[in-house]
Amino acid sequence: MSTAPADLTPAERSTLAECIRRAHAASDAPGKAGISAAVMKDGAVLAWGDNQVFLDHDVTRHAEVVAMSRATAALGAPDLSGCTLLSSLQPCEMCLSAMRFAGIDRVIFAATKARVAAKYFMFPALSIDQFKDADKTSFHWIGGVLEDEVVALYADGDE
């Protein structure tokens, strides 16, 4: 189950707002999809990532994966334990799995699966709660934060 949005720190709320701003900006740029993410540790942003699927012609270059890749490079190690992933859109199944492989156990996102186009999720019957239950470790998520500021970007799947 998600934690209440009140459990966000001011730095997390500010970072998520910046993810949303970046998502809107990217949606207007040629070749870019309007999805943005960040990895935070100890209240500071380690790395930003914007969706690069169309720029890199690589289906795995989701914003969350790009942010995690940059964060591990910044730390010089693949372990992101103790970090939080923030995204303008609920992470897909691939990104949630990558997050857990990296050791991230907390994710905060704006637009939720229930309010966006189906194209963003390959396993529509798999809920984030089922993912959490299958994880068997400490995994926390907070969704729908500042959702109204970005959900229209993903409503028709044409961000």
Whether 147 is a known active-site residue: answer: no
Residue 20 host element (H or E) = helix 10-27
User: What is the C-alpha separation between 135 and 129, in angstroms, rounded?
Assistant: 10
Closest to 68 (Cα-Cα) out of 31, 94, 43: 94
Question: Edge-to-edge strands of the sheet including 106-111?
Answer: 44-50, 36-41, 83-89, 106-111, 140-142
Catalytic residue among 64, 147, 149, 159: 64
Amino acid at 96: L
CA distances from 62 to 2, 132, 134, 143, 153 (A): 23, 21, 23, 18, 16
Show which residues are catalytic. 64
